[in-house]
Amino acid sequence: MELDNLLHGKSEWLKGTGPKSDIVISSRIRLARNLEGFPFFNWAKPKEKEDTLKLVRDAIEKSKFLKKSLFLNIKDLPEIDRQFLVERHLMSPEHVIDLEYKGLVVEDKEIASIMINEEDHIRIQVLQSGFNVIEAWRMSDAIDTDLSKKIPYAFSTKWGYLTACPTNTGTGLRASVMLHLPALIITNQIGKVFQAISKLGLTMRGFYGEGTEATGNFFQISNQVTLGRSESDLIDKIGSIVDKLVKREESTRNILMAKQKDELADKIWRAYGTLKTARIITSTETIKLLSFIRLGVDLGIVSGIDRTGLNELLILTQPAHLQKLENKLLTPDQRDYKRADLVREKLKGGT
């Protein structure tokens, strides 16, 4: 398996085949773990960082769950490849800061990935398509259990798993779900939703998680604190809240179709017309317009375009992906031209 193989593969979380996949793009479980007897990465000396990278890599290579996986040393990757991996949600933007002694392991179907020496020594991530938090947890737990038999984790009987950031201490678990909520945006309900979620100990972020703003009506919802809660409690809580959000988005879409169908169809077809004819377009505008077309597909207003293809366009039109597809570096202006060409080609056949 080579890095460039990912470009033409279909990421599991983009398939649009999981439960409630018209509204829930993906579900993710991330587990933070650290090695016993080693300082946290940001406090460690170079030799300790190097030893940590080797120990974790050796353990992963022996894991029965990660036999078909690719190991990448972050410092050896060109900048374009690092950004490519961030765009595919296989590693965090923070993982490309201070490149020394950092690694990434990617499973061949892109369901699982493991960041080595990000903020914590180990960040296990599992992504599933649709509203599938429980299955993502089952897989991440199996990988975690397997690795724990090969390398000792830093664990306290009082505090749980010890992590670099106190908010992760305890289970070390972050559950997140990416939602597409255009109806709640159109009807100006999203502000109240944000306030309600914050009071319940959850947070809403943008397309690329922490530190990013919402773009194109896409939001990530995740738990903020793990201490004092069991894994099942955290998963049940986010599952319950997401279920309510999905139902609210569904009911709002039905109301819009019943009372404002012509106005809604106009927004959708204007977005479609722009993407079908544009010769120059930015990534931000592309995501916003794709959001409306995706809504049109989900509501049966637009036909001849599948949800999987639209999901993939959200990623393929990002800067690093465009340059990987062209196999050369492009200026921002050149990317805007190529992005428009790619979108027009992919949207052929829609009616």
Domain holding 180: CATH number? Answer: 3.30.590.10
Both 240 and 297 in one domain: the answer is no
Q: Residue 212 above 50 pLDDT?
A: no
Mean pLDDT computed over 201-210: 71
The owner of tokens 């404002």 is 260
Residue 94 burial by CB count (10 A; 0-12/13-18/19+): exposed, middle or buried? middle
At 126, the pLDDT band (50, 70, 90 cuts) reads: very high
pTM higher than 0.85 = yes
Q: Kindly state the percentage of the chain with pLDDT values over 90.
A: 77
Q: Residue 349 above 80 pLDDT?
A: no
Both 191 and 90 in one domain: the answer is yes
Both 115 and 61 in one domain: the answer is yes
Q: Is residue 113 part of a domain?
A: yes
Identify any residues that bridge with 71 across adjacent strands, giving them in sequence order: 105
Both 113 and 248 in one domain: the answer is yes
Mean pLDDT computed over 311-315: 92
Q: Is residue 191 part of a domain?
A: yes
Residue 211: the pLDDT is 46
Q: Is 220 helix (H, G, I), strand (E, B) or coil?
A: strand
- Contact, 103 vs 118, CB < 8 A? no
Identify any residues that bridge with 127 across adjacent strands, giving them in sequence order: 28
Both 51 and 124 in one domain: the answer is yes
Task: Please name the helix (run of DSSP H) or strand (run of DSSP E) that holds residue 69, with its range, or none.
Answer: strand 69-73
Q: Is residue 57 part of a domain?
A: yes
Q: Is residue 351 part of a domain?
A: no
Q: Residue 3 above 80 pLDDT?
A: yes
Find the distance separating the first CA and the last CA of the chain, reported in whole Å.
38
Both 230 and 264 in one domain: the answer is no
What is the torsional sign of CA 215, 217, 218, 222?
positive
Among candidate residues 345, 272, 347, the one with its CA nearest the CA of residue 304: 347
Which residue, 210, 232, 252, sits at the end of a domain? 252
Both 81 and 164 in one domain: the answer is yes
Q: Is residue 288 part of a domain?
A: yes
Note down the domain range covering 79.
5-252
**Rounded distance between C-alpha atoms, residue 221 and residue 227, angstroms:** 18
At 213, the pLDDT band (50, 70, 90 cuts) reads: low
Both 184 and 308 in one domain: the answer is no
Number of domains in the chain: 2
Which residue, 194, 222, 252, sits at the end of a domain? 252
Which residue, 230, 252, 274, sits at the end of a domain? 252
Both 277 and 233 in one domain: the answer is no
Model confidence over 34-58: pLDDT tens digits?
Answer: 999 999 999 999 999 999 999 999 9
* Weakest-pLDDT range from 79-83, 152-156, 202-206: 202-206
Q: Residue 311 above 50 pLDDT?
A: yes
Both 161 and 301 in one domain: the answer is no
Among candidate residues 259, 279, 256, the one with its CA nearest the CA of residue 268: 256
